[in-house]
Amino acid sequence: MFYYNYTNNKENSMYIYLPIAEQPIHSLAILGVGTFLGLIMGLVGVGGGFLLTPILMFLGIPPPVAVASVANQLVAPSVSGVLSHWKRSNVDFKMGTVLLVGGVIGSSIGVILFNFLGKIGQLDFVIKSSYVIFLSLIGTLMLYESLRLILRKRKGKVSRGKLHQHNWLHGLPFKTRFRKSKLYISILLPILIGVIVGILAAIMGVGGGFIIVPAMIYLLGMPTSLVVGTSLFQIIFVAANTTILQASQNQTVDIVLATILLLGSVVGVQIGAKFTNIIKGEYLRLILSAIIILVSLKLLADLITVPSDYFSIIIHR
Amino acid sequence: MKHFRYYLFVIIFSISLSIEGKTENQIVADLSQENVKISTNFLGAKILLFGAYDGKPGDDIIVIVTGRKGLVTVQKKEKKFGMWVNTKKINYINTPKYLSISSNRPLKEILDENTQKSSQIGLNFLNIRTQPGSKILNNENWREALTRNMIISKLWSVNENSVILNKNALFRSYLNLPSNVTVGKFEVKILHYRSGKLISTEKSTINVSKSGFSAQIYNIAQNYSTLYGIFAVLLAVLIGWGTNLIFRKV
């Protein structure tokens, strides 16, 4: 399938023709977007996937191509991130492997679902509405957390909550010991989390860090120091599986787009990481949450405002 | 030098006219570019069509360029739970994915509506059918939506007054292919009308194909899709690992 975009003003040699998206795009714009997202990843520690896909859609990249290519680009910063966390021994490989088993199952389901939604013509709607839901949720939570932290610091007290609470989730069968994380829990729980994150990763073109990180902390009760490295470890495989399946099932992976994006993002991550000690984390999160909320509002507006034309076309290949 | 062939043609044609006299009712035409390559820097193409016709004052030239035909879906959005969702669709088969109609003056002045209909000249007179089994019967709005959206996407166009006639013997016109054209053979038809009657035609083709790097990537992605996916992942892994090595030393 081939979607067209309305922006057609280009008289410039900086444009590069994307072979799969089948349209030219300004190469510096894409490089800039990649670097910006990399900076956020490096500064805040969460993946930029959930911002990258909507930005690409705003730039006129067809949503299916945006989702699949972002999955591809996510592999690079995740590999880079795992390597640096591994060096500091911050990766629980056993937990990561259990999570990725679920993730691979989930992302496979996700790609099949993606294919099905494309056939019935609801793919764009599902991608956009899931973004509205998740971005507004995450944006609001982040805003709340960072504001709370800022206010507390002003008052001059920082209290720490309990590491994790035991609930019915810890009573599930197939209990396994995860030495590194100092946990003795049912293997079903991380697999289930992996499956859910995998499905979302495939449909939304995200690594799922924004879901898996809180899930690991609050549901599994993993030590915070291990969470980022371990989630990145599983994201590599989920993103890789999604990329290969999207490429073979839907032919929507644009390697040129992905490569330009990831070149920008890997550099951005490193720059961002160098600045983390200079800028205060909670203020960063405050800014990021504002960006996320804005993006979700823009997407929501696209869905609820009366369209200028009720009709649209899809030109099949 | 781009239009060298055009000038050469004009000179040779005028010489041949003066030597041999006119042959009856003929059009000869040539294109500044017969092969359009979509490579990594493709931003669309502008092609000069030029030629000579055996004309009298008041004659008209219409140029129709048609791309590959195929399936185009028109979808309609409706409000569901406060959001605008695609709910209905019609598949149009046999739809040209590129169409440009150029003429020396407005089509209405050249042809009456019946002739326009019978010879399918005009964006609303095309022989486009809905896929058999379509449930939507009153589809006039849908057909209009197809035309409207194809025009917005720059794939369909009517360019009245864009064919330039010269001394009732020469004509030229620029054909614009946008950057989102689909590949294939484009049929160029040149029609010569005298007081609303077709007196001669000429045909030519433009080949639009992907070439170079972007063509290779496209072909690999289509034909070796799994391998392509694996390669895309490996490339990303390598770059991720590479940057880690580079920045560790910095």
Q: What is the ipTM of this complex?
A: 0.83
- Residues B17, B134, single domain; the answer is yes
DSSP chain A: -B---S------TTEEEETTTTEEEEHHHHHHHHHHHHHHHHHH-S-SHHHHHHHHHHTT--HHHHHHHHHHHHHHHHHHHHHHHHHTT---HHHHHHHHHHHHHHHHHHHHHHHHHHHTT-HHHHHHHHHHHHHHHHHHHHHHHHHHHHHHHHHT------S----GGGG-SSEEEETTTTEEEETHHHHHHHHHHHHHHHHHT---HHHHHHIIIIII---HHHHHHHHHHHHHHHHHHHHHHHHHHH----HHHHHHHHHHHHHHHHHHHHHTTTS-HHHHHHHHHHHHHHHHHHHHHHHHSPPS-SEEEEE--
For residue B175, what is the domain's CATH number? 2.60.40.2550
- What's residue A70's pLDDT? 92
List the domain range (segments joined by +) for residue B232: 211-250
- Residues B177, B236, single domain; the answer is no
- Residues B141, B237, single domain; the answer is no
Q: Do B71 and A16 touch (CB under 8 A)?
A: no
Q: Which chain B residues contact residue A17 at CB under 8 A? A: 38-43, 179, 214
Q: Are A31 and A264 in contact (CB under 8 A)?
A: yes
Q: pLDDT tens across A191-211, in order?
A: 998 999 899 888 888 777 778
Q: Which residue of B has its CA nearest to A263?
A: B239
- Residues B238, B180, single domain; the answer is no
- Residues B85, B150, single domain; the answer is yes
- Residues B179, B88, single domain; the answer is yes
The more confident residue out of A167 and A89 is: A89
Q: pLDDT tens across A242-297, in order?
A: 999 999 988 999 999 999 998 888 888 778 777 766 776 677 778 888 888 998 99
Q: pLDDT tens across B148-189, in order?
A: 999 999 999 999 989 999 989 999 999 999 988 888 999 999
Q: Do A17 and B70 touch (CB under 8 A)?
A: no
Interface test with B, best of A3, A125, A266 (most B CBs within 10 A): A266
- Residues B109, B196, single domain; the answer is yes
What is the total count of domains within chain B?
2
- Residues B82, B186, single domain; the answer is yes
CA distance to partner chain B, nearest, from residue A269 (Å)? 10
Q: Which chain B residues contact residue A249 at CB under 8 A? A: 225
CA distance to partner chain A, nearest, from residue B137 (Å)? 16
Do β-strands B45-53 and B99-103 pair in parallel, antiparallel, or remain unpaired? unpaired
- What's residue A218's pLDDT? 77
Q: Do A17 and B71 touch (CB under 8 A)?
A: no
Phi, psi of B103 (to 5 degrees): -150, 170
Q: Is residue A156 pLDDT above 80, yes or no?
A: no
Interface test with A, best of B91, B99, B155, B244 (most A CBs within 10 A): B244
Q: Do A243 and B233 touch (CB under 8 A)?
A: yes
Spatial separation of the C-alpha atoms in residues A261 and A255, rounded to whole Å:
10
Chain length of chain A: 317
Average pLDDT, whole number, for chain B?
Answer: 87
Domain ranges of chain A: 15-156+165-304
- Residues B12, B39, single domain; the answer is yes
Q: Do A4 and B180 touch (CB under 8 A)?
A: yes
